Amino acid sequence: MGEALQAALTERYDALSTSLRSRIVEFVLAAFDSLTGHRDGDAAEFLDRVLPIVLGAQQQMGQITDAYLSALLADMLGGSAAPVGVQLAEDLRGVDPTEVYTRPFVTTWTALSQGKAYPQAVAEGRTRLLSITETDLQLARTHAARQSMRRGGAKFYRRDLRGTKNCALCVIASTQRYRVENLMPIHPGCHCKPVPIPGNRDPGQVIDEALLREAHAAVAKGIGQSDAGGRAPDYREVIITRQHGEYGPLLAVRRHEFTGPGDVPSP
């Protein structure tokens, strides 16, 4: 059925995934806001209530992503849309989820130790919780997508921009093609989704010249220089993919650095 079916599948998937993300974020933040305190005991109460729901939502994100991509690939490449499921580990980051979802409390405690007012400290913890929850749902999407596209026979994919506003990192990255064996690079708060590119022939690194030109024009307006050949500024030197210890491939600006073990002072 071609484009009409693919558009319908995409619309349905976007609605389901957006609804799931919104409901889980709302639930998690409400649970954090309802706590009467933010001590160790409050953190344990929060984890008991929230963690099973969050982990279930990650599995659900994986399932709907697999169903969407299986149907999409069946229409693109022929064959039947028969998703067999994806296997998502609970520790998508390679870190125990209990530790990950305790981090908002650590952020709160750290802010208090720095002399910040209690409401401000709690707000900083809440902001970190929002980032963690959204990022974990995005990780579930990208891990599921890689499994589903591999099984479906896709060789290459692109990133599809979502929403009315997208950051510059995602816009420029969306003009490139990626190989299915590689996870889609993300960043905290990223809502992009991987979409397979039909056929097995490499379409080349740049797949959307028009959008890349628009990005160059926006950069030129902002910093006073641009070059359609990517030399001034060279976007390969500005927007890069770093390997994050928990997220995997992470879209980043070259000047951004991660804290490593050597940066942590000895006790």
Question: Cβ-count burial of 259 within 10 angstroms (0-12 exposed, 13-18 middle, 19+ buried)?
Answer: exposed
pLDDT (tens place) for every residue of the chain, 267 residues total? 578 888 899 999 999 999 999 999 999 999 999 999 999 999 999 999 999 999 999 999 999 999 999 999 888 877 666 667 888 999 988 899 999 999 999 999 999 999 999 999 999 999 999 999 999 999 999 999 999 998 888 899 988 887 656 677 788 888 888 899 888 877 777 788 888 988 778 888 887 778 777 766 765 665 555 444 444 444 544 555 667 777 677 676 654 444 443 433 333
Angle, in degrees to the nearest 10, between helices 40-77 and 118-152: 30
The beta-carbon contacts of 34-39 under 8 Å, at least 24 apart in sequence, are 38/105, 38/108, 38/109, 38/121, 38/122, 38/125
This model's pTM is above 0.75:
yes
Element (H, E) at 160: strand 156-160
In the block, residue with structure tokens 């650095």: 257
Supply the pLDDT for residue 111: 97
Residues making up the chain, counted from first to last: 267
- pLDDT at residue 75, rounded to an integer: 85
